[in-house]
């Protein structure tokens, strides 16, 4: 700050005081408050949940617990995969606790509801665990980002190469809510675009445990590929039961969203040779290994892609607060869109105007037990797909923000 030497001392103190107050006011309520609204106990808790809370703490620790000299505060709650519970907690945080950003939101129905509330309150949401394409298409918000994945990218990277290599006829077993529907719709589109055909589908009430009737329907359909449009505990149960019914001997079982903890949960014998799209693998390179081993030391498991993505989202949120000098949502969003994004999770990444983070995806194949050389050595990376190729192009997006 340049000071006029002719100012009397009293006037100088007023000027300095005003500058100090302005700097302090850039951080609302004298703290940056981050909320993690996640599934701590339900079907998705292994993919997100406590591991996403730890990932948030690791990102905060990299800043020494402060940003711009102000403390970083963390609050956590379980939405229990219920929209009313998630919405009520979001309102409480935003109205009473003055939370600046609500993160994770590992359920698409909950995420869509909380995004709307946050926009009304002019606060930010960072979706790292939910994948409905609508989040950054029809329902996009100027106060929201979708950081890790969506069903469009997973379906495109995970199905088209299989159709092109000969798996032409498909059957879907789908979780009956927004996320499952989105996976099935996007998967069906890319199967057909690649020259394949969808013979039928079954939708089950989420969460589920007994998939016998749905698997038998898939088996009797004669489909070459059986797509499981679900995740977490449901997906693990489906794979185990598919093995019990013998589907894996005659049909290709394809997970539309699978994580490393799912592979760990069912075992390499049950999951070997499965192909699917991933957004992160702990053993990809030195950066991913350094973060993942730090995570493993605290958690006893390697991070899922969603947990690594949560770390990345929070880390870059704090970087944007620091760079912009403010926790105002408009300032943070603009800075995120303008700044380079690279960390243990995000490679070749940039944030688009619709709130979508474009980054590399990977087509992976699960190793057999004989090929696995160490604990959690589960994937062969078959192909790396750039974000520009994997995610929906803006020309297809229905995001209203793109019309301005």
* Contact by Cβ (8 Å): 4, 14: no
Task: At 112, give phi and psi (nearest 5°).
Answer: -60, -40
Residue-level pLDDT at 404: 62
* Residue 47 confidence (pLDDT) above 50: yes
| Helix 108-121 × helix 83-95 angle, to 10° | 30
Closest CA to 280 of 257, 306, 317, 254: 306
Query: Counting beta carbons within 10 angstroms of the beta carbon of residue 194, is it exposed (0 to 12), middle (13 to 18) or buried (19 or more)?
Result: middle
Q: Which two tokens stand for residue 354?
A: 């619709």
The arrangement of secondary structure in 32-149+284-360, i.e. its CATH architecture, is 3-Layer(aba) Sandwich (3.40)
* Contact by Cβ (8 Å): 287, 360: no
pLDDT in tens, 179-209: 889 889 999 999 999 999 999 999 999 888 8
Residue listed under structure tokens 């032409």: 168
The span from the CA of 36 to the CA of 40, in Å, is: 10
Domain ranges, ordered by start, for the chain: 32-149+284-360, 158-279+362-387
Work out the pLDDT band at 13, boundaries 50, 70, 90: very low
Instruction: Report the pLDDT averaged over residues 224-234.
Output: 91
Pairing of strands 169-175, 197-204: parallel
Residue-level pLDDT at 144: 98
Residue-level pLDDT at 5: 43
Work out the pLDDT band at 271, boundaries 50, 70, 90: very high
CATH code for the domain defined by 158-279+362-387: 3.40.50.2300
pLDDT in tens, 324-358: 999 999 999 999 999 999 999 998 899 999 999 99
* Residue 24 confidence (pLDDT) above 70: no
Q: Look at 145 and 21; give whichever has higher pLDDT.
A: 145
Considering only 16-20, 129-133, 140-144, 245-249, which range has the smallest mean pLDDT?
A: 16-20
pLDDT in tens, 370-391: 999 999 999 999 989 999 999 9
pLDDT in tens, 49-95: 999 999 999 999 999 999 999 999 999 999 999 999 999 999 999 99
Cis, peptide link before residue 272, omega less than 30° from 0: no
* Contact by Cβ (8 Å): 366, 274: yes
Q: Which two tokens stand for residue 73?
A: 């505060």
Task: At 366, give phi and psi (nearest 5°).
Answer: -75, 130
The span from the CA of 355 to the CA of 397, in Å, is: 12
The span from the CA of 67 to the CA of 40, in Å, is: 27
Query: Which distant-in-sequence residues (6+ apart) come within 8 Å of 316 by Cβ?
Result: 336, 339, 341, 343, 346
Residue-level pLDDT at 20: 37
């Amino acid at each position: 700050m340049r000071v006029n030497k002719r100012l009397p001392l009293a006037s100088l103190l007023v000027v300095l005081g005003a500058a100090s107050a302005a700097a302090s006011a850039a951080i609302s309520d004298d703290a940056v408050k981050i909320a993690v609204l996640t599934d701590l106990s339900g079907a998705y808790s292994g993919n997100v949940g406590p591991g996403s809370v730890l990932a948030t703490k690791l990102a905060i620790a990299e800043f020494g617990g402060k940003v711009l000299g102000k403390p970083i505060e963390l609050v956590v709650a379980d939405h229990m995969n219920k929209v009313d519970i998630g919405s009520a907690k979001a309102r409480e945080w935003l109205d009473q606790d003055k939370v600046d950003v609500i993160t994770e939101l590992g359920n698409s129905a909950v995420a869509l509801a909380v995004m709307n509330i946050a926009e009304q309150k002019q606060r930010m949401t960072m979706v790292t665990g939910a994948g409905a394409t609508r989040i950054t298409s029809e329902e996009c918000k100027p106060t929201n980002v979708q950081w890790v994945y969506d069903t469009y990218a997973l379906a495109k990277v995970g199905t088209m190469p299989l159709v092109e290599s000969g798996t032409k006829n498909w059957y879907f077993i789908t979780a009956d809510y927004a996320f499952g529907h989105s996976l099935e719709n996007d998967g069906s589109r890319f199967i057909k675009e690649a020259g394949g055909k969808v013979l039928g589908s079954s939708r089950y009430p989420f969460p589920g445990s007994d998939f016998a009737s749905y698997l038998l329907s898939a088996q009797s359909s004669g489909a070459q590929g059986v797509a499981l449009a679900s995740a977490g505990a449901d997906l693990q149960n489906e794979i185990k039961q598919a093995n019990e019914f013998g589907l894996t001997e005659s049909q290709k079982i394809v997970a539309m969203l699978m994580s490393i903890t799912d592979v760990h949960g069912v075992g390499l014998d049950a999951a070997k040779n499965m192909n699917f799209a991933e957004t992160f693998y702990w053993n990809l390179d030195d950066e991913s290994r350094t973060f993942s081993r730090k995570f493993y030391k605290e958690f006893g498991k390697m991070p899922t892609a969603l947990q690594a993505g949560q770390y990345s989202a929070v880390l870059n949120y704090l970087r944007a607060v620091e760079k912009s000098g403010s926790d105002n949502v408009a300032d943070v969003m603009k800075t995120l869109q303008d700044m380079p994004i690279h960390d243990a999770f995000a490679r070749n990444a940039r944030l688009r105007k619709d709130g979508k983070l474009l980054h590399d995806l990977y087509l992976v194949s699960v190793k057999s037990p004989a090929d696995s050389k160490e604990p959690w050595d589960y994937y062969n990376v078959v192909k790396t797909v750039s974000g520009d190729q994997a995610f929906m192009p803006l020309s297809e997006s229905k995001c209203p923000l793109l019309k301005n």
